[in-house]
């Protein structure tokens, strides 16, 4: 009986530690994303540079998992975002968006990141998109 209780205690402890680590990673992403505004400094679709389509846009990620697409100082569209630290993914969704915001919709795989930048890729059908966001 003591051995079973000990094994149960170890299992619960490991699960709790794992959950604490997951929560810490999620909170770090939330802190990094919601501090300041972001600009698209590079956007390629199938190797074609369309970064200029995002000229004038900044993005403000909020703690309630909404994101504002701000163009020339005014909110043009509000969408949602989610982060999955374990999978290294960020999902963006601007409902009823048109280009260029429509191109952001979907699940992005983070390939490189720091406190002031994020590089990510997404494949939609046969189209490969690459994105770099930098904090202003």
> What CATH number does the domain containing 75 carry?
2.40.128.270
Q: What is the pLDDT of residue 45?
A: 97
* Domain encompassing residue 63: 2-135
**Burial of residue 99, with CB atoms counted within 10 A of its CB: 0-12 exposed, 13-18 middle, 19 or more buried:** exposed
Give the tokens for residue 34. Answer: 């919601």
When divided into structural domains, the chain yields a total of: 1
Instruction: Note the pLDDT tens digit of each residue in 17-75.
Output: 555 555 555 566 678 788 999 999 999 999 999 999 999 999 999 999 999 999 999 99
pLDDT at 11 over 60: no
**Burial of residue 71, with CB atoms counted within 10 A of its CB: 0-12 exposed, 13-18 middle, 19 or more buried:** middle
**Residue whose C-alpha is closest to residue 62's, from 87, 101, 92:** 92
């Amino acid at each position: 009986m003591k051995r079973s209780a000990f094994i149960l205690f170890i299992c619960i402890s490991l699960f709790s530690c794992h959950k604490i680590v997951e929560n810490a990673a999620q909170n770090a992403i939330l802190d990094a994303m919601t501090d300041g505004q972001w600009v698209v400094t590079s956007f390629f679709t199938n190797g074609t540079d369309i970064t200029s389509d995002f000229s004038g846009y900044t993005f403000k990620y909020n703690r309630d998992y909404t994101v504002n697409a701000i163009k020339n100082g005014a909110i043009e569209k509000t969408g949602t975002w989610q982060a999955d630290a374990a999978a290294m993914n960020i999902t963006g969704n601007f409902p009823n968006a048109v280009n260029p915001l429509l191109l952001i919709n979907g699940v992005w795989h983070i390939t490189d990141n720091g406190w002031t930048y994020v590089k990510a890729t997404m494949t939609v059908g046969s189209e490969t998109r690459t994105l770099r966001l930098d904090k202003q």
